[in-house]
């Protein structure tokens, strides 16, 4: 606890766990920052690290079904906003991207990086009209009013699959025992 208060006040107290008792070079005081601007920058680095780690842990919790989709969506949306804000505060030539930040500190959070790149929770899907088209194709196949065109390769595949399932259903419903 003393270390955190020293960090906040800028104290230069030396810490020794007993390993460097005889070596004066290991007992040297180390300042983490020179002024309040640097202190704020280091605090912002820590904040970004904490937010990215939180996103990673949230992803794991959601995958393991430890939280509901509603809780996940709310928490993930909030953390993504915090991540953007934290990154804006530390942006520098050294850290052009969050990936550069993570690489510099050897921070491995693949699930968090995917979420940050997508910029939305996994429960929120972007529908660019593809879902509606796919539903229309499936309805057309199931009603038998399917017109196959060159641009609708998916429709043709769904139609063939539907025909296969129809044959399997007819065969399985017949009685093979006389």
Per DSSP, helices labelled H in 23-174 are 36-63, 69-90, 98-104, 110-118, 130-143, 153-173
**What's the DSSP call for residue 35?**
S
Beta bridge partners of 92: 95
Find where tokens 């959601």 sit: 62
User: Considering the entire predicted model, what is its pTM?
Assistant: 0.56
Longest dimension (CA), the chain: 97
d(CA 101, CA 42): 13
d(CA 52, CA 105): 12
Tens digit of pLDDT at every position of the chain (178 positions): 454 445 445 555 555 555 556 677 777 777 777 898 888 888 999 999 999 999 999 999 999 999 999 999 999 999 999 999 999 998 788 888 999 998 998 889 999 999 999 999 998 875 555 555 555 655 555 555 555 444 455 555 555 655 655 555 555 555 444 3
């Amino acid at each position: 606890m003393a270390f955190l208060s020293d960090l906040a006040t800028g104290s230069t107290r030396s810490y020794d766990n007993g390993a460097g008792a005889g070596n004066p070079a290991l007992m040297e005081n180390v300042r983490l920052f020179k002024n309040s601007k640097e202190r704020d920058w280091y605090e912002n680095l820590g904040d970004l690290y904490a937010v990215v780690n939180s996103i990673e842990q949230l992803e794991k919790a959601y995958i393991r079904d430890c939280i509901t989709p509603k809780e996940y969506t709310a928490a993930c949306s909030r953390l993504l906003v915090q991540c953007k804000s934290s990154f804006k505060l530390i942006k520098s030539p050294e850290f052009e991207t969050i990936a550069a930040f993570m690489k510099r500190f050897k921070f491995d959070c693949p699930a968090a990086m995917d979420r940050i790149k997508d910029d939305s929770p996994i429960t929120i899907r972007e529908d660019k009209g593809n879902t509606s088209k796919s539903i229309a194709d499936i309805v057309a196949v199931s009603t038998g009013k399917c017109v196959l065109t060159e641009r609708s390769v998916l429709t043709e595949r769904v139609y063939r699959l539907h025909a296969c399932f129809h044959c399997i259903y007819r065969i399985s419903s017949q009685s093979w025992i006389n």
